[in-house]
Structures are given as C-alpha cells and as structure tokens.
Amino acid sequence: MIHLDLRDPRPMYEQVVSQMEMLVARGVLAADEKLPSVRQMAIELSLNPNTVQKAYSELLNKGVIYSVRGRGNFVSGDCTAVRQAKLEEIKQQIYKLRQQAHEFGITVKQWNELLQSLIEEGKL
Amino acid sequence: MIHLDLRDPRPMYEQVVSQMEMLVARGVLAADEKLPSVRQMAIELSLNPNTVQKAYSELLNKGVIYSVRGRGNFVSGDCTAVRQAKLEEIKQQIYKLRQQAHEFGITVKQWNELLQSLIEEGKL
Amino acid sequence: MIHLDLRDPRPMYEQVVSQMEMLVARGVLAADEKLPSVRQMAIELSLNPNTVQKAYSELLNKGVIYSVRGRGNFVSGDCTAVRQAKLEEIKQQIYKLRQQAHEFGITVKQWNELLQSLIEEGKL
Amino acid sequence: MIHLDLRDPRPMYEQVVSQMEMLVARGVLAADEKLPSVRQMAIELSLNPNTVQKAYSELLNKGVIYSVRGRGNFVSGDCTAVRQAKLEEIKQQIYKLRQQAHEFGITVKQWNELLQSLIEEGKL
DNA sequence: GTGGTCTAGACCACC
DNA sequence: GTGGTCTAGACCACT
C-alpha cells in the first residue's frame, strides 16, 4: 500500500505521513476505516515500530486520523477535508515562491506570464 | 549588506548563498565585482570562516561566482543570467507542487483555478 | 440507554461509568433500581464483559451502585447525591485550573474577569 | 529549573512541556533566550535524551520555541503570547465542565452560583 | 493484541 | 558541540 524510497532525502516517517495523507485524499482510505496496527505496519515497511508510531502521531496532530488505546488508529475525516487542506498548503508555498521571485527582482509581469504559461500547459 | 535571520531554520551557509544570489540578481553586485574575502565576510556576519567558505563553495558550484587563486572571488555573470536561473528553479518547484496536487486527487481544473486566482491577486 | 463514542479517546469502561452516573443524576435510574447484568450489558453495548465488569467495579468504588451477591447490581442513592458529588468534582477541577492559571502568571483580576464573562454568557 | 514528579500520572515529556511553558509565561525565560541543549537537559533531569527531544518537539509544535540545527533551541515569543494562549485553553476546559454539568442535570442557576462563589473566594 | 511512553545507543547534518 | 532521525527492546494501560 505504501512504498518507501531510501534515496528520498526526507525522513522515513515523513514519507509515511505524506503517503497516508495521499491515500485518504484520494478516497482509498474511507472515514473511520481502521489503519494497520503500528507493529504490523512496521513489519510491512521494514521499519522500527517507533518510526511508524511517530508517523501516526504526526497524522494525529494534523487531524487526519484519530487513535483509540487498545483498539487501533482510524481515519478521521473524508477525502474532501484533507484535499482542501492540501490545496491551501500548496497555495501558501506558491506565495513563498512569489515572495522569493520578488526579492530576486522578477517583475509581477514576468511572474504572471509564468503562471499563465503553466495554465496553458495544463490545458493540453 | 547581508542580513542573517537567526530564527530561520535553514543553515546559515544557505542563507548566505541565497542572499548573495539575490544581490547579484538585483544588480547590486555587478559582473566581475570583487567579493569580500572569506575572513572579512566571516567577521562582518559574526560567522565561523568555515561557514562562509561553505557558502562560497556553493556559489562556485552554481556558477554564480568564480575564484582566482591568490586574488579572491568575483561575480561571474550579470543579473539577467541569475534572474533567469531563479525563474527556472521556481518553475521546477511549481511543477513539483502540481505533481503533489495530482497525487492528492486534485483535478487539473482545480489546479488551474488556483493559478488563475493567483494571477488575479497579482493584478491588484 | 447508553451510547458509546468510538472516537472518544477515553477508555470504554470510563465512558460507561460517566454515562451511568449521568443517568442516575438525571433521575432516569431511580434509587434501588436493578441494573442490567454484566453479561447482558456487554451484549447490548457490543463490549467485552471484562470491560463492563471494570465499569461496574468503578461505580461500586464511587458508591454510585451497590452489589448483592447472586442478585445483581443496584443504584445506591438518589439523583441529588450524585449530582451534588459531580458539582463538588467540577469545583475541584476548576480549583486545579485556577492553580494552573496562577502558575502561568495570570493575575487574580484576569481570572475573575474570565469567570465573570462566563456568567454573563450563561445569562443569555 | 524544572522539577519532575514521578507520582504524577502524566508522562515525563509532558511535565517538561508544561513547566517550560510556565517558565516562558512568567517571563523567567525571555524571547530568543537559549534553552539548555537536549543532552544537557537530559542529564539534569535524569531522562533519556529522546524523552527531552520529544518535549522540545512538542514545544516547537505549539510555537513556544524555535530550533536551529547545530545551534540549539530558543524561546520564540514573549510571555504575553503564551499567557494568552493558556487563558484561552483554560476557557475551553471550563466550557467542557459546563457541558458535563448540564448533562448531569445541573441547572444554569446552580452553575452560575458556583462561579460566583469562586469569584468571592478570589477576592479574599 | 493495541497504542503510548521510555531507555539505550547509534548515525547524520550543521556550526 | 548542537538538533534530528532511527533501531532495538522494554513496560504499561486498555480491549
């Protein structure tokens, strides 16, 4: 279900987090569905249970899952919520890029042309 | 000339690199202009000379500066080159974001709407 | 009669305890009324009998119910007693919060203003 | 600086978190002040470095501190911000208590009388 | 068996 | 030296 890339510079637990978010966002994991247990997931991914635990804690913090002692971890919301959150996160990142562009002396005109060209690409 | 932010989570040498690039891109530093020596820069910024050396090496790698043994470091190109490179770099980063959006089940339509809304904002 | 929330992070037996207390406090369960047996309750709530047993033991400890060997469990007091006990418990918890507030350097004035504002809200 | 209570049912890392928050809120730790390193703190408290690391991560999440690789952890804001956040947190907890009281059949009148009596106590 | 906490000891990037 | 990640193995409370 999840594939880890050892060459990816991001820590393992973060890869798990983003892939789980992805699965929820795409509706592969429905609301209130039970996730694999910490130990089982650790075996599947050849990771230490602590690492998986950290990933699950992060997902808990982000509100993507909820966890019940002795019963397991479960998906908390439906796909739209996570997808919307991601869209907002991406928007913030583009704001940062725009800020960088501005600091490098790139004009608003050049910036808008870049975005426009990206939209054109998308329409193909 | 350069202002370091201690709260910035990025490593110091990386902050130096991006600010130097910025100064070249904005034309504050012209082509073939001599940069402060590693030691002088280290004193000005209250940094360890090793840190500044690492920043200069990075800039050398990126081709932003060139180094003449025994004479010092000099800006290699003019502002347009660096600016163009930055624009390309930003474009690549937006490609990554688009890829992420796609993996989260965000449609091309939603993506283009996002870009369009950003263009509208820029026109204000 | 009792509704369990799987998303509630509290252990199941604790949810049973607080809901039983609630039912007594509201007078839904009168004094000396017989409670469902552990097994029957377990079936109704789809819980393990051990879990229900733990809840009943807790209620016994708190003096909310009494148990007669071979006959079953019964509500011990009337609603006012439980309600009064709850009120006292809440008071103790607010004391703890006040203590915390004090440790965080929140003044008595700020604290009283908070309580006052809550009273005002309640009057609406 | 920090005192741990082994009898406290809360996990060690959480005790560290709340005590650090307290120190910032009371102005004992000023903005941008450096905290003891993870390892040093671990020695002082006779804890494993990982446990301290977890506490610091939590404080990072809450925005109470910021951390710079290779340099250390630092207090992020001044006392008023943390104090205000704590006040809001306490308010939310009292809301929960009010909700509980309501479910136990305690009237708004009784509730307000409780708050009023607490205010009177505070004036002594 | 489940999640959550903790210890012990290791490695890496950064300063 | 610093923070951050990871492994290995343990204990506890809850179901």
d(CA D23, CA D27): 6
Question: Range with the lowest mean pLDDT among C70-79, C104-113, D40-49?
Answer: C70-79
**What does the pLDDT read at residue A30?**
93
**pTM score, whole prediction:** 0.91
CB contact (8 A) between residue D112 and residue C123: yes
**What does the pLDDT read at residue D119?**
93
Tens-digit pLDDT string for chain A (124 aa):
899 999 999 999 999 999 999 999 999 999 999 999 999 999 999 999 999 999 999 999 999 999 998 999 999 988 999 999 999 999 999 999 999 999 999 999 999 999 999 999 888 7
CB contact (8 A) between residue D74 and residue B6: yes
Stretch B91-118: mean pLDDT, rounded? 94
Residues of B in contact with A94 (CB under 8 A): 94, 97, 114, 118
Q: Is the confidence at residue B124, as pLDDT, over 90?
A: no
Inter-residue contact D66 to D59 (CB < 8 Å): no
CB contact (8 A) between residue C114 and residue D27: no
**What does the pLDDT read at residue B122?**
80
**What does the pLDDT read at residue B2?**
86
Residue B101's alpha-carbon distances to A26, A84, A88, B4, in angstroms, are 11, 10, 11, 33
Stretch D30-56: mean pLDDT, rounded? 96
Q: How far is the CA of C23 from the C1' of E5 (A)?
A: 35
Q: Is C29 on the interface with D (CB under 8 A)?
A: no
> What is the distance in angstroms between the CA of the first residue and the CA of the last residue of chain A?
31
Instruction: Give the residue from chain B lying closest to A85, CA to CA.
Output: B104
Torsion, Cα of D3, D6, D12, D15 (10° steps): -50
Coil, strand or helix at A93: helix
Per-residue three-class SS string for chain C: CCCCCCCCCCCHHHHHHHHHHHHHHCCCCCCCCECCCHHHHHHHHCCCHHHHHHHHHHHHHHCCEEEECCCEEEECCCHHHHHHHHHHHHHHHHHHHHHHHHHCCCCHHHHHHHHHHHHHHHHC
C23, C104, C110: which to substitute to probe chain D, counting the most D Cβ within 10 Å?
Answer: C104
Q: Is the confidence at residue B112, as pLDDT, over 80?
A: yes
Q: Is the confidence at residue B16, as pLDDT, over 80?
A: yes
Stretch D86-97: mean pLDDT, rounded? 95
Burial pattern C46-81, b for ≥16 Cβ within 10 A else e, equals ebeeebbbbbbebbeeeebbeeeeeeebebbbebee
Strands D65-68 and D72-75: antiparallel
d(CA D124, CA B58): 66
Inter-residue contact A20 to A64 (CB < 8 Å): yes
| Proportion of chain B above pLDDT 90, given as a percent | 74
Taking only the tens place, the pLDDT of each residue in B57-87 is 999 998 999 999 999 999 988 788 889 989 9
